[in-house]
Structure 1
Amino acid sequence: MTRTVYLNGAYLPEDQAKVSIFDRGFLFADGVYEVTSVLGGKLLDFEGHAVRLQRSLSELEITNPISKDDLLEVHRELVRLNEIDDGLIYLQITRGAADRDFAYPPADTPCTIVLFTQAKPGLAENPMAQTGLKVISIEDQRWGRRDIKTVQLLYPSMGKMMAKAAGAHDAWMVEDGFVTEGTSNNAYIVKNGKIITRHLGHEILHGITRAAVLRFAREAQMEVEERAFTLDEAKDADEAFITSASMFVMPVVELDGAPIGTGKVGQVASRLREIYVDESRKAAI
């Protein structure tokens, strides 16, 4: 089955969707993106993704080409057209196509907006949740505005490949001795029952799943501390986990070849994953 995608106001077969070679997303990584999960044919955390999308666009001085209501309708129509039960919807907006110049093109240059689906049957039943992830640490060499969800993802891709080469699943990036985040996720440790994750700032992405998980943790009377933690603290933690739109809450059981805690999936991560999936299904639209 050929996927139907959305491009600049039209629903098209994927092999008919074309973007200009002069698009600034292609030439300069001048654009932003969001990924929204779908469970049971419904969207998770759509409101949070829409708000963060607007923030990212505003930070780059890109005018949003689509209203929130219309964007919701596009998401729902793609779910319907592609018969997505469990999966992901990728959204990308760039500054549009213009002659190559480092200076921004005129403000009335039409943006490029693309959405497509990825079917992920059993997304909430990922077997890795039972065994946990292995991660390595790498130097964080990204630019300084990681809070903007831009499409410039080369270094995170390199980090994924470094992890793969080391026999691990992912990499945690480290700056000045402190863990910032994973290559495509927010990072957490648990010590003496306390959940510790880096505070919001320019150094990390303001994760939508992160916000939901921390809210659920506090509602469940779990202790949460938002601060930077060191790589040594992570290695000495009782548990660790990550959060992201596609992985939800995923335990981490090994760091740089050494077990974290018992080396098994911990109770806090397992409970948070259960709460997040249950509550997100209830709130999905």
Structure 2
Amino acid sequence: MQYHVDGDLVPADEATVSVRDRGFMYGDAAFETLRAYGGRVFEWEAHADRLRRTCRALSLDHGLSDEELRGRIRETLAANDLDDAYVKLSISRGVQPGKLSPGPVEVPTVVVYVADLPRGGRPDRGGEPVWDGPATAAVVETRRIPDAALPAGAKTHNYLNGILARLELRDRNASGSGGAERAAPDEAIVRDADGNLAEGATSNLFFVSDGVLHTPSLDGPILPGVTRRVVLELAESEDIPVEEGTYGPADLRDADEAFLTNSTWEIRPLAAVEGPDGETAKFGAGPITDRLADAFDARVERDHYE
């Protein structure tokens, strides 16, 4: 494998960043997780726009155009002979004097990392998900950082909030009867400071009740996921009623269907969610989830393979 580091393609075992890099020292960096289908990045403009907003929030003026960044991604995919891939693009202020206050960006650190993924798109054309089956999740005690403390719309290297939420899941792997270990849930669902549902540690949350698709509103501390936006567009095209609002764990517990979204998982159904009270809600077949997943696959097929 070869990665793109500061303008050059280098072998994976030589792809390094200085220990004095502010991205390493302080988490002072922006990133985007993307997915390539058929050699082309999915929803590049939306990802580039969110990356630009993150850099603006950090006052990180890296001086590179969207097309230059896109070119580095293309070069990395081509160098590894990958058409279908996971892509991570990271930008930091680079190496600066060891103090908290940042100075002007002189030489930013820009890294493109890629990994092989299955073909996407319609199953009858060879598309397959990256996951083995529906996910399980648990509502954890870790709360989402308020937007006034750390902008929710900024996708930064400071991911400690999500890490702490995922660490809670290890406690769910407690010994059961007969000493057998129970598998930890796949995702941690966090709430805001008021106890309302926010999102997964690395995903956005959707659920269906009485034929209406619900998702927490961006008025709360929610990362505006690119796949989240695509799902809302698909729901409109499929005439599925949508409500963005404020919801508690009980709303999710009483739902008929639920699923998670991110760039890698796309649309992943939820089979069960353990609430903060320990009660587990189980979800059966999801006709609306299936319709949206089919529409998503068809869009990928049309835009990237046909």
Same fold (TM over 0.5): yes
Q: Report the equivalent of 2:112.
A: 115
Task: Work out the CA distance in 2 between the residues paired with 1:177 and 1:202.
Answer: 11
Q: Report the equivalent of 1:157.
A: 163
- 1:29-178 aligned at under 5 Å gives the runs 29-105=27-103, 107-122=104-119, 125-126=128-129, 128=131, 131-144=133-146, 145-166=151-172, 167-175=184-192, 176-178=194-196
Candidates 197, 202, 213, aligned match of 2:215: 197
Task: Work out the CA distance in 2 between the residues paired with 1:265 and 1:64.
Answer: 47
Give the CA deviation at 1:127.
Answer: 6.9
Give the CA deviation at 1:254.
Answer: 0.6
Contact 1:140 1:174 in 2 (8 A): yes
Q: Report the equivalent of 1:275.
A: 295
Task: Work out the CA distance in 2 between the residues paired with 1:276 and 1:50.
Answer: 21
Task: Work out the CA distance in 2 between the residues paired with 1:168 and 1:36.
Answer: 24
User: For 1:125, what is the secondary structure of its paired residue?
Assistant: coil
Indicate whether 1:213 and 2:205 are aligned. no
Give the CA deviation at 1:202.
Answer: 5.7
Task: Work out the CA distance in 1 between the residues paired with 2:119 and 2:153.
Answer: 30
Task: Work out the CA distance in 2 between the residues paired with 1:88 and 1:127.
Answer: 10
Task: Work out the CA distance in 2 between the residues paired with 1:249 and 1:83.
Answer: 26
Task: Work out the CA distance in 1 between the residues paired with 2:232 and 2:191.
Answer: 22
For residues 170-191 of structure 1, the C-alpha deviation after alignment (integer angstroms, 9 at most, x for no partner) is: 1110122211000101011111
Contact 2:62 2:105 in 1 (8 A): no
Task: Work out the CA distance in 2 between the residues paired with 1:281 and 1:70.
Answer: 26
**Fraction of identical pairs, as percent:** 26
Task: Work out the CA distance in 2 between the residues paired with 1:247 and 1:164.
Answer: 21
Q: Report the equivalent of 1:222.
A: 240
Task: Work out the CA distance in 1 between the residues paired with 2:219 and 2:60.
Answer: 21
Paired AA for residue 283 in structure 1 = D
Contact 2:145 2:161 in 1 (8 A): no
Task: Work out the CA distance in 2 between the residues paired with 1:128 and 1:82.
Answer: 23
Candidates 227, 232, 248, aligned match of 2:250: 232
Contact 2:208 2:257 in 1 (8 A): yes
Paired AA for residue 291 in structure 2 = R
For residues 179-217 of structure 1, the C-alpha deviation after alignment (integer angstroms, 9 at most, x for no partner) is: 100010101111111111111146010111111110111
TM-score when normalising by structure 1: 0.92
Give the CA deviation at 1:164.
Answer: 4.6
Contact 2:93 2:105 in 1 (8 A): no
Contact 2:34 2:88 in 1 (8 A): yes
Give the CA deviation at 1:108.
Answer: 4.0
Paired AA for residue 213 in structure 1 = V
The verdict on how the C-alpha distance between 1:120 and 1:267 changes in structure 2, with shifts beyond 3 A counting, is: same
Q: Which stretch of the first structure deviates more once superposed, 10-19 or 23-32?
A: 10-19
Paired AA for residue 277 in structure 1 = D
The verdict on how the C-alpha distance between 1:271 and 1:5 changes in structure 2, with shifts beyond 3 A counting, is: same
Displaced runs of 4 or more, over 6 A:
none
Aligned length: 279
TM-score when normalising by structure 2: 0.86
The verdict on how the C-alpha distance between 1:138 and 1:266 changes in structure 2, with shifts beyond 3 A counting, is: same
Contact 1:173 1:181 in 2 (8 A): yes
RMSD (CA atoms): 1.8
The verdict on how the C-alpha distance between 1:162 and 1:116 changes in structure 2, with shifts beyond 3 A counting, is: same
Give the CA deviation at 1:142.
Answer: 4.1
Task: Work out the CA distance in 2 between the residues paired with 1:210 and 1:52.
Answer: 13
Contact 1:164 1:170 in 2 (8 A): no
Contact 1:239 1:252 in 2 (8 A): yes
